[in-house]
Amino acid sequence: MKQFWRLSLLLAALLLSTSGHAASRALLVGVSQLTQQNNALWLQAPRNDVLLMRDTLRRQGFTPGDITVLADGVDGAALPDVAAIQAALSQLYERSRSGDFVLLYFSGHGTRIRNNAKRYQEPDGLAESFLARDARRDGEALAGVLPDEAMGGWIRAFLAKNVFVWAVFDTCSAASMTRSSPATEGVAAGPPDDVVRFRSLRLEQLEYGKDGERADAPAAPAAPALPRARYVGFFASESHQVTPELKLPRRAANAEQHGLLTWALAQTLARKPKNFRELFNGVLTLYPPVIEELQARFPQRELPSPVAEGSLDAPLFANDPAPCSTQPQWGARREKALLLLSVGRLDGLDIGQPLRVTATLDNGVRREALTRLTRADADSAALTLPAELASLGGSTEWSVTPTTPPEALALRVDAAQPLPPDLSLAWPASIVRVPASAAASADVRWRNSTLELLSPELRALMPGASSVASAEALARLAQLKWIAHLSALAQSGHIDGFEATLERWQGDRLVTSQPLAQAAQMPQPVPMSGERNTLAVRNGSGQSLDLVIMGISADGSLYPVYPETASESNRFERGTRETPASKRFDLPWLTSGARLLLLASQAEPWSAPRLFGFMLPEAAETSSSTRLRAAPARNHVGAYVAWGDGTH
């Protein structure tokens, strides 16, 4: 009988361990050696990177059996050939169940080549690839690599299983790896005991493969393109940049070669951040001293600005896309008694805005204080450091969160009944019910089940608005009040080398072409039957841009043009006048009363790019790309175009 009960308990334990309990798993890939290439192109750090990430994940609660390592030079690890990587992805996919969390981590060389067959064309016309151990040239293409489209296919497959995916690429040319700089070499000069290597190779640097070595594995299982609410991506660099591996921490006796992003991730995870945004902001605070040293050593190189996208406010290592907070969190830089922000009025801030300042110490302890915004310009802001935090040391990590949305931007409702309790709002939109004594200042009157628009700005934005009252209708009006405010702020400025052109096509024939700023001066004709409107964007400014393009229909519905979803970065790639980064967007939703708003800002090196308060479809608190730290004023440009009744 005792044996029976022991067996029953054992079976119950096995069933419990294999039931629907969510698991956290990781695939760690590090490619140091390119066996079909000259060893001068090999790297040193990827093997160290995967070991550091493995140890870091174990401290975060991952079990050894749920961490798969593919790396050369690591005891017990399989070699990271492309077939082995694809097989490991396939095995991880088969093991994954709804509710699981998966980390896909890659450390090694990245490259870019032209691929006209790619379904989603990048603005620079190039496609990114991660080089496996057996990478080689195959004519004007590559073999032994994991292309960005293949990586995107695997992510779609995991998402279709309701698995939360965190993808990390510590490579050059990384920022588009889920959808090498031509002027750089892979290895930089330096002292023998402090060599810096850059993870980027050009196609012409790679040798052709040996006969019979064509073991590329099949692609990911077919899966629909679902919303990426359960997705986060971290990238070591923008697609045109290089990222280094070097001894870290700097000047430490026990320093080892590591990729900069990987080392910063491990250091920040030790502080136990609550969500991916806190994690990434912490990563960025570790970059300045390293980047400044490398800039002095390699002044001709453009050094990396890490990028993040997806549901950054989701909790770490969980299958939960719900944000930890619906308020934005911005990294801040201390300068004596001030904290400086690289966001401002275009992001919903205003002078006197109540804020919470969070100081994170080296040991992960957080201290907080409340204050108000001292200064707010279009692209920057500043606040006086709260006195209770002024004594903290120079290595403190600073962040700022608004405690309430700006009062001046709230949708003011004259309502005879309480507001709905289920309102879903994203920063900086908000709703307040005004007392009867202030009814004259209301934007909207709500009586019984109908809404009456009182604000001229809202009536202009929504000529076809429904008068039926609902929580969704109020939330849309609150978002549109912010858009009306933003459009007034944005219709100015200039970015040298940036062009946006409104085009009208009849089949393949271009009928008219007009600069967007000029088109904004008067209502535009709605396309006739057989015609279509497109927006052509060209960036020849020599800098990457933070870009948002949003359509607004006559009934107030929003149509994201760029980025298309909340999971995508709004970083528009860098181009020059000679070789601009360009993309053409179709505008099929155009009808009478529609609007188009474009807002672009120069993306400073190591600063935080911005979505300018737009709510995209997949989550109330949207994705963003995030960069490092503040710099002098940046230029921005905006345009706001309306379409008329279709008369020509």
The whole-number pLDDT of residue 114 equals: 61
The whole-number pLDDT of residue 232 equals: 93
Scan for tokens 């996919």, then name that residue. 93
Do residues 129 and 118 lie in contact, with contact meaning Cβ atoms separated by under 8 Å?
A: no
Contacts of 325 by beta carbon, 8 Å cutoff, 6+ apart: 275, 313, 401, 621
**Which of 255 and 190 is assigned the larger pLDDT?**
255
The whole-number pLDDT of residue 285 equals: 84
Q: What are phi and psi of 88, to 5 degrees?
A: -65, -40
* Segment 276-284 mean pLDDT: 89
Distance (Å, rounded) from C-alpha 188 to C-alpha 186?
A: 7
Nearest to 124 by CA among 167, 179, 169: 179
- Among 453, 480, 507, give the residue marking a domain's end: 480
371 shares a domain with 291: no
338 shares a domain with 256: no
In a domain, 608, yes or no: yes
Give helix 276-285 / helix 287-297 axis angle, nearest 10°: 40
The whole-number pLDDT of residue 12 equals: 40
Residue 151: is its pLDDT beyond 60? yes
pLDDT above 70 covers a percentage of the chain that reads 84
Most confident of 314-318, 460-464, 605-609: 314-318
Contacts of 265 by beta carbon, 8 Å cutoff, 6+ apart: 53, 56, 168, 234, 279, 283
In a domain, 184, yes or no: yes
Average pLDDT along the chain: 83
Alpha helices in 119-248 (DSSP H): 148-160
229 shares a domain with 304: yes
Q: What is the CATH number of the domain that holds 347?
A: 2.40.10.410
566 shares a domain with 434: no
Distance (Å, rounded) from C-alpha 454 to C-alpha 222?
A: 50
Nearest to 489 by CA among 638, 644, 309: 638
- Among 353, 387, 402, give the residue marking a domain's end: 402
Q: What is the CATH number of the domain that holds 187?
A: 3.40.50.1460
532 shares a domain with 504: yes
How many helices and strands, by DSSP H and E, does the chain display?
A: 10, 32
In a domain, 421, yes or no: yes
Q: Got the DSSP string for 261-312?
A: HHHHHHHHHTT--SBHHHHHHHHHHTHHHHHHHHHHH-TTS-----EEEE-T
The whole-number pLDDT of residue 174 equals: 53
Do residues 392 and 367 lie in contact, with contact meaning Cβ atoms separated by under 8 Å?
A: yes
In a domain, 12, yes or no: no
Do residues 498 and 543 lie in contact, with contact meaning Cβ atoms separated by under 8 Å?
A: no
For 619, the 3-state DSSP assignment is coil
Distance (Å, rounded) from C-alpha 440 to C-alpha 412?
A: 10
Scan for tokens 């160290």, then name that residue. 48
* Segment 463-488 mean pLDDT: 81
In a domain, 315, yes or no: no
To 5 degrees, how large is the angle CA 51–CA 56–CA 61?
125
Q: Each residue of 606-641: pLDDT tens digit?
A: 665 577 887 655 443 333 443 333 344 567 777 778
Q: Residue 545: give the domain boundaries.
A: 498-642
Do residues 68 and 88 lie in contact, with contact meaning Cβ atoms separated by under 8 Å?
A: yes
DSSP 8-class letter at 347: G
Scan for tokens 């009867």, then name that residue. 436
Distance (Å, rounded) from C-alpha 372 to C-alpha 301?
A: 39
Distance (Å, rounded) from C-alpha 118 to C-alpha 513?
A: 27
243 shares a domain with 142: yes
**Which of 98 and 227 is assigned the larger pLDDT?**
98
DSSP 8-class letter at 139: T
Residue 45: is its pLDDT beyond 50? yes
Could you tell me which residues are beta bridge partners of residue 26? 67, 103
Q: HSE (CB half, 13 Å, CA atoms) of 538?
A: 14
The whole-number pLDDT of residue 180 equals: 34
Distance (Å, rounded) from C-alpha 172 to C-alpha 89?
A: 22
The whole-number pLDDT of residue 5 equals: 42
Tally Cβ neighbours within 10 Å of residue 170.
32
What does the block give as tokens for 422? 């289920």
Amino acid letter for position 104: L
Q: What are phi and psi of 277, to 5 degrees?
A: -65, -45
415 shares a domain with 355: no
Tally Cβ neighbours within 10 Å of residue 520.
21
The whole-number pLDDT of residue 640 equals: 73
Residue 377: is its pLDDT beyond 70? yes
* Segment 244-248 mean pLDDT: 93
Distance (Å, rounded) from C-alpha 177 to C-alpha 32?
A: 19
Residue 184: is its pLDDT beyond 50? no
Q: C-alpha dihedral over 35, 37, 41, 43, to 10 degrees?
A: -10
Do residues 472 and 608 lie in contact, with contact meaning Cβ atoms separated by under 8 Å?
A: no
Query: In the 3-class helix/strand/coil scheme, how is 243-267 assigned residue by residue?
Result: CEEEEECCCCCCCEEEEHHHHHHHH
* Segment 120-135 mean pLDDT: 73
**Which of 405 and 567 is assigned the larger pLDDT?**
405
Q: Each residue of 500-514: pLDDT tens digit?
A: 999 999 989 999 999
531 shares a domain with 465: no
Q: How many domains does the chain have?
A: 4
Q: Which helix (H) or strand (E) holds 476?
A: helix 471-490
What does the block give as tokens for 440? 């004259």
Give Cα separations from 193 to 237, 380, 642 (angstroms). Answer: 25, 41, 62
* Segment 345-354 mean pLDDT: 91
In a domain, 91, yes or no: yes
Tally Cβ neighbours within 10 Å of residue 222.
9
Do residues 199 and 171 lie in contact, with contact meaning Cβ atoms separated by under 8 Å?
A: yes
- Among 275, 310, 345, give the residue marking a domain's end: 310
In a domain, 489, yes or no: no
The predicted model scores a pTM of: 0.82
The whole-number pLDDT of residue 326 equals: 73
Tally Cβ neighbours within 10 Å of residue 179.
20
Going by pLDDT thresholds of 50, 70 and 90, the confidence category of residue 215 is: low
290 shares a domain with 148: yes
DSSP 8-class letter at 25: E
Q: Is the peptide bond before 563 cis (omega within 30 degrees of 0)?
A: yes
Q: Each residue of 303-315: pLDDT tens digit?
A: 888 988 888 889 9
Burial class (CB in 10 A: 0-12, 13-18, 19+), 97: middle
Do residues 469 and 451 lie in contact, with contact meaning Cβ atoms separated by under 8 Å?
A: yes
282 shares a domain with 247: yes
pLDDT above 90 covers a percentage of the chain that reads 39
249 shares a domain with 114: yes
In a domain, 559, yes or no: yes
Question: Among positive and negative, which fits the CA dihedral 170, 175, 181, 182?
Answer: positive
295 shares a domain with 426: no
